[in-house]
Amino acid sequence: MNIIAKITYNSGDSLVVTDPTTNPPVSGLTMGERTGSRIFHYLWSPCIRGRRKWLSPFLAAFAGACLILIAFFLMTFVIERYAVYTFEASGLALADPIEQYGDAIESAKRWVEVLSPQVTPVMVHSHNDYLRPRPLFSALSVGCASVEADVWLSKNGKDLLVGHHWWNLTPEKTLNSLYIEPLLEILDSFNSPLFSDELESQGHHAGVFASHPNKTLILFIDVKDDPEKTWPVVLEHLEPFRQKGYLSYHQNTGSTPADQSFQSGPLTVVGTGNIGKRRDVNIGPDLSKWRQHHDVFLDASLDLLSHPGFCERNDTLCREVEENEFYTASVSLFRAIGTVIPYFSKSQQEKLADQIQLAKKLNLKSRYWELPGWPVSRRNYVWRTLHHEGVDLINADDIVSATTKQWHSNYAIEGAWVLGIASCLFSFLLTIMWLGKRMVFRMMTV
């Protein structure tokens, strides 16, 4: 029986002869594992120590290609998409940091004295406004006419904590500290004799924008937990505005529809989120009193305005819509018309136009949320289309771009560039890997 000995090198560079009859080869390995093991032992065997210098250029090129590819995707998909626009706060950069003091009274004073006369309001909604460098003031400083606060009832049942998720909540960030107190400070200042003699003589209160004192600020309050417990606390927190006449309100002056009136005020409060599922909680126990006068409104589903009660067809508990019960109508863009890839189809645009026009007919301000944020050119294309169709509020995370209306980037060109660069980088990486594999196997056969 012929036996072929296996010759290897030990750590001392001397030959070692292995008898396969006493040291049988390891079985159970896949072809890939055996190949990888051969390559690894070959590369690190002393017999080719002098040849390892040829691997350095390959490893450097491979590592460089990986780093370039990672950097490209980080820049394109993470950094550019989630970059915080530090200039959002404008001249408020020297005001009190909300993270340290938990209130924004100094920012309110700065807004009244310095910034407000320079700002023109724009119908842009500051989505998740409380996440900005300066909640409320980042939006005001660029002219947003609508802001949003997500609220949760605190454990003591008295405070309204602001945050998107329950694990983000802190005792310092409350509806009172972030929105109610600074808004009261602003409105009290603008409605003092120093500012508003003319408006008071006309029976109106001034709003938060000095350049447009009749412009209302829309405050969306999104109830994230149980509306039956949270909403009454929201209404209590609004009492200072109510007493001073700062809230928009509905007033019934007679028995006919012509006698129903809506009076716009400096602040229009709109309930959204879970309160939309419990409209009875917003109305309260006395329907006749609520029909006579109420100063808080709800957000309807924009895609359900043609349905009875603005409800799903299978909602057996849906009630009829009351006069001036709703102020806005919002819906996810995806839920309303589906995915926009790459452009709005003709049927999607027709659906958008129908929904927006129906909202206008019902005297509701339309808004679409869950808009694409990246690529920027795709986001701009969606903004342009919505604006062209007449939507009332542009929902925005990048409020600087939204309010300045810099929406002119070319979606097709930017998409082609991104795909082209990504393809080139990926091809380069695959080429380096293929050449490296060929190099190793050639060296093994020498």
Same domain, 346 and 426: no
Count of domains in the chain? 2
Tokens of 190: 């603008």
The residue that leads in pLDDT, 412 or 283, is 283
The whole-number average pLDDT for the span 336-351 is: 92
User: At residue 279, does pLDDT exceed 50?
Assistant: yes
> Which of 233-242, 318-327, 407-416, 421-430 tops mean pLDDT?
233-242
Same domain, 266 and 234: yes
The amino acid at 120:
T
- Secondary structure (3-state) at 417: helix
User: At residue 148, does pLDDT exceed 70?
Assistant: yes
User: At residue 7, does pLDDT exceed 50?
Assistant: no
User: At residue 195, does pLDDT exceed 80?
Assistant: no
The DSSP code for 178 is I
The residue that leads in pLDDT, 57 or 111, is 111
What is the predicted pLDDT for the residue at 231? Answer: 98
- Secondary structure (3-state) at 347: helix
Q: How far is residue 208's CA from residue 198's CA, in Å, rounded to a whole number?
A: 16
User: At residue 374, does pLDDT exceed 60?
Assistant: yes
Percent of the chain with pLDDT over 70: 71
The whole-number average pLDDT for the span 365-374 is: 93
CA distances to 25, 33, 52, 222 from 28, in Å: 10, 10, 30, 60
Contact 376, 384 (CB under 8 A): no
Q: How far is residue 123's CA from residue 146's CA, in Å, rounded to a whole number?
A: 7
Same domain, 62 and 147: no
The whole-number average pLDDT for the span 138-145 is: 94
Across 61-75, 284-298, 399-413, 424-438, least confident range: 61-75
Percent of the chain with pLDDT over 90: 51
- Helix spans in 250-319 (H): 279-283, 287-292
Same domain, 197 and 321: yes
What is the predicted pLDDT for the residue at 3? Answer: 47
Same domain, 15 and 141: no
The whole-number average pLDDT for the span 380-386 is: 94
Same domain, 293 and 227: yes
Q: Is 87 among the domain residues? A: no
Q: Look up the domain containing 125 and give its range.
A: 92-409
Same domain, 121 and 190: yes
What is the predicted pLDDT for the residue at 99? Answer: 41
Contact 201, 207 (CB under 8 A): no
Same domain, 433 and 354: no
The amino acid at 150:
D
> Starting from the edge strand earliest in sequence, which strands make up the sheet with 293-294, in order?
260-263, 249-252, 293-294
What is the predicted pLDDT for the residue at 30? Answer: 54
As a whole number, the mean pLDDT across the chain is 81
Q: Is 44 among the domain residues? A: yes
The whole-number average pLDDT for the span 99-117 is: 75
The whole-number average pLDDT for the span 180-206 is: 81
Indicate the pairing of strand 267-273 with strand 297-301. Answer: parallel
What is the predicted pLDDT for the residue at 102? Answer: 43
Same domain, 104 and 63: no
What is the predicted pLDDT for the residue at 337? Answer: 95
Q: How far is residue 135's CA from residue 150's CA, in Å, rounded to a whole number?
A: 12
Q: Is 16 among the domain residues? A: yes
The residue that leads in pLDDT, 359 or 58, is 359
